[in-house]
Amino acid sequence: MAAGSLSGQAAIVGIGATEFSKNSGRSEMTLAVECVTSALEDAGIHPSEVDGLVTFTLDNNPEIEIFREIGGEELKFFSRIHYVGGAACATVQQAAMAVASGVCEVVVCYRAMNERSEYRFGAGMQDTQAQADFETAHYGWYIPHGLVTPASWVAICAQRYMYETGATTEDFGRVAVAARQFASTNPNAWFYEQPITLDDHQNSRWICGPLRLLDCCQESDGGVALVITSAERAKKLNHKPALIKGAAQGACDDPQMMTHFYRQDITRLSEVGLVAKQLYRQAGLTPDDIQTAVIYDHFTPFVLPQLEEFGFCDKGTAKDFIRDGQITMGGRLPINTHGGQIGEAYIHGMNGIAEAVRQVRGSAVNQVDQVNNVLVSAGTGVPTSGLILGQ
Amino acid sequence: MENNNKELEARMAATIGVEVGPQRSWDPVNLPMICHWCQAMGDDNPMYTNLEYAEQSDQGSIIAPPTMIQALTMKGVTETPAPGSVSRTEEQPYVLDMLDEAGYVSVVAVNCDQEYFSHVKPGDDISHIMTIESISELKHTALGEGYFVTELWTFINQDNEKVAEMRFRLLKFKTPQQAQRPGSAGSQSNKPKAPQRPRPGLNRDNAFFWKGLKQGKLLIQRCTSCQTLRHPPSPMCPSCQSLDKDVVEASGKGVVHSFVNLHHPALPAFDDPNPIALVELEEGTRLVAGLINIEPEDVRIGMPVKAEITQCDDELTLALFSPVTE
């Protein structure tokens, strides 16, 4: 570890979540304060000690309102990360930097939403009004042609990935089958006790060819919060700490919001490669040191290039890695052991970070043997982020 | 969220999977009906009407067009079923009637999927059994609130073999109350507007592109310092950071770099499925564009295409792309 490094200075010491549903029956703010207080209780830290809060620009729950309701006293750091699910691991990076630099003592990262019952996240831009601001105008290159949803933007890259690597829609299906298998044994997963077969995947309806319904994650109501404090203090708390060994953001190679159609090789998730490079360097680890991973699965096709960018297999060979069963229990790298966003819930990657913490603690329902280090990725197709958590 | 329909939903749920029928056909499958159908549909496949051709085929005889299946057992205009049909009893209440009674009186057909298992031939006697396969939770749609109901029709022949299945999906809904506009009749044209494509947001950096299309030109931005072409356009050249720029007119020739066939959401302004490509122009830049004059299943990466500048409505002109046939 380099001097002055972020690695190992902070830890995730508390995780909290609401139930995951399609209709929470209560406000997003209710979900937010529930998951935040539950994470603090898990950590054994009193809410009045929270001095930092981090969330997504996408989140509708202001930091100050949560802070007010939980009985906060002095909020010294509040920060939001942009680029939808790409923000997930970056919230923890912000928290770790705030703790490591001495700005904060206790930072809570959160994401809480009714994205199924109050609005449909997957609906995309179909009702978007023409506006001049940059991000809306950007979608003007796509929406007049009908390319209006996240699934459709991902499908453009997925089609080319299949063409270049020989991966098939069945390989995408294997990712979904593996996720649903893990979800089937996780009582907190929406798809608890509902595994699927590859036939189910292949028979599911087309959303945007080559993507089928079962290639797409859920839309969920729910909230997840994570408590970060110093590694020093972590030793005295309730649980075995999940040390933040690596935390990085990345954007590069002609970055775009969901539409990196103009980079030389659109099958690559170059920003994931940039995150990977930073994570391994910060942590002083290699892919061989990772026992399990949470690989962002809003859409199955992007799981394959992520496995390649993180160095678990060579470019174009993720299909073989997956066909060999390496992402399932007993394989080289079981991924998304909570069921992923396909099987557990789509809380924009935050539920995956909570699962990584459980794997480090040894308390996951689908616990992998002898976990020293867990890699976590965030939303792909967008500027992104990642974490390595470990003992 | 409030849901005051729990009792209704429970009654509806009890109808799922209950088999109703069989509903018989009026006549065995026969050549005159097939010929009428083919003429009405403009289908000249010789397997349907040319006896000699069909006899020499591996089927050995005429077959009925598979899509005819629903017409075979259809009730007449008087709603009378064909003789021998078994009608719905009081123990088999129809979910659509329940929804009518509950005020969800409007209906729109959403989609219909048919799957065929074997060919139907002249002489076959076709019946169908209908079940309700699924009923959605209460949905709030642009038309109003209501329920999606999926009917499963199973078509069987005289030997009780399943020859086809049809899933027919309906939305039963209540329209919003605003519909009454007393006194306005006749004053304004009530002609429904054609569904429109989503609009692009115009700003100072991209307006030239959209203006160019209205003039029939597909434009590419060019850096006047380093001559690099770029799309999407931007104020600064990512290659040399110059703010100086002009445009060149593209030839419109390109190849399909990647593509999708969009099924969902099926927006009214588009075909379903809707083939959309990432086109690499011969000048080297790429852009996303709808494909026209091609069947979705025929799109291939690497396929040469050319721009067809198309006025989609009063306000919107787009560069769509069509395959180059050579």
Grouping H, G, I as helix, E, B as strand and the rest as coil, residue A70 is coil
- Are both B231 and B168 inside the same structural domain? no
Report the CATH number that the domain containing residue B96 is assigned in CATH.
3.10.129.10
Asked if A148's CB is within 8 angstroms of B267's CB, the reply is yes
Contact present, B202 and B177 (Cβ < 8 Å): no
ipTM of this predicted complex?
0.95
**Best residue of A118, A136, A145, A259 to probe chain B, by most B CBs closer than 10 Å:** A145
- Are both B143 and B247 inside the same structural domain? no
Min Cα distance A20 → chain B (Å) is 16
On the question of pLDDT at A57 being above 70, the answer is yes
Tell whether A252 lies on the interface with B, counting CB pairs under 8 A. no
d(CA B208, CA B214): 10
d(CA A229, CA A108): 9
Both tokens assigned to A142: 């796509």
Q: Hey, what long-range contacts does B66-71 have (CB within 8 A, 24 or more apart)?
A: B66/B114, B66/B116, B66/B119, B66/B120, B66/B164, B67/B41, B67/B114, B68/B33, B68/B34, B68/B37, B68/B120, B69/B114, B69/B116, B69/B120, B69/B126, B69/B155, B69/B163, B69/B164, B69/B166, B70/B114, B70/B153, B70/B166, B71/B37
Query: Which residue, B159, B176, B193, sits at the end of a domain?
Result: B176
d(CA A188, CA A364): 11
Both tokens assigned to A384: 């992104």
- Are both B13 and B131 inside the same structural domain? yes
Grouping H, G, I as helix, E, B as strand and the rest as coil, residue A157 is helix
Q: Is residue A42 situated within a structural domain?
A: yes
DSSP at A116: T
- Are both B85 and B156 inside the same structural domain? yes
Asked if B202's CB is within 8 angstroms of A137's CB, the reply is yes
* CA-wise closest residue to A194 among A9, A359, A343, A25: A343
Q: According to the model, what pLDDT value does residue A268 have? A: 97
Q: According to the model, what pLDDT value does residue A131 have? A: 84
Nearest by CB to residue A208, choosing from B201, B264, B288, is B264
Tell whether A148 lies on the interface with B, counting CB pairs under 8 A. yes
- Are both B124 and B215 inside the same structural domain? no
Report the CATH number that the domain containing residue A298 is assigned in CATH.
3.40.47.10
- Residues of the domain holding A304: 10-118+222-390
d(CA B189, CA A115): 39
Q: Is residue A348 situated within a structural domain?
A: yes
Q: According to the model, what pLDDT value does residue A4 have? A: 65
Q: Is residue B149 situated within a structural domain?
A: yes
- Are both B171 and B268 inside the same structural domain? no
Grouping H, G, I as helix, E, B as strand and the rest as coil, residue B45 is coil
Q: Is residue B49 situated within a structural domain?
A: no
Q: Is residue B72 situated within a structural domain?
A: yes
Nearest by CB to residue A262, choosing from B197, B262, B286, is B286
d(CA B274, CA B262): 5
Both tokens assigned to A15: 């995780």
Q: According to the model, what pLDDT value does residue B3 have? A: 59
Total number of domains in chain A: 1
Q: Tell me which amino acid residue A45 is.
A: I
Min Cα distance B38 → chain A (Å) is 29
Contact present, B37 and B68 (Cβ < 8 Å): yes
Total number of domains in chain B: 2
**Best residue of B113, B234, B288 to probe chain A, by most A CBs closer than 10 Å:** B288
Q: Is residue A192 situated within a structural domain?
A: no
Q: Is residue B99 situated within a structural domain?
A: yes
- Chain B residues within 8 A of A205 when measuring between CB atoms: 263-264
- Residues of the domain holding B119: 6-29+64-176
- Are both B216 and B273 inside the same structural domain? yes
For A73-82, write each residue's pLDDT tens digit: 999 999 999 9
- Are both B75 and B161 inside the same structural domain? yes
- Are both B17 and B151 inside the same structural domain? yes
Min Cα distance B24 → chain A (Å) is 30
Catalytic residues of A: 296, 346
Contact present, A6 and A244 (Cβ < 8 Å): yes
- Chain A residues within 8 A of B238 when measuring between CB atoms: 254
d(CA B22, CA B158): 12
Q: Is residue B51 situated within a structural domain?
A: no
- Are both B229 and B287 inside the same structural domain? yes
- Are both B18 and B157 inside the same structural domain? yes
User: pLDDT in tens for each of the 326 residues of chain B?
Assistant: 445 788 888 889 889 999 999 999 988 999 999 999 999 988 889 999 998 999 999 888 999 999 999 888 888 777 778 888 888 888 888 999 889 888 888 899 998 999 999 999 999 999 999 999 999 999 888 888 999 999 999 999 999 999 999 999 999 998 876 334 333 333 344 445 678 899 999 999 999 999 999 999 999 999 999 999 999 999 999 999 999 999 999 999 999 999 999 999 988 899 999 999 999 999 999 999 999 999 999 999 999 999 999 999 999 999 999 999 86
Asked if B273's CB is within 8 angstroms of A25's CB, the reply is no
- Are both B308 and B228 inside the same structural domain? yes
Asked if B232's CB is within 8 angstroms of A262's CB, the reply is yes
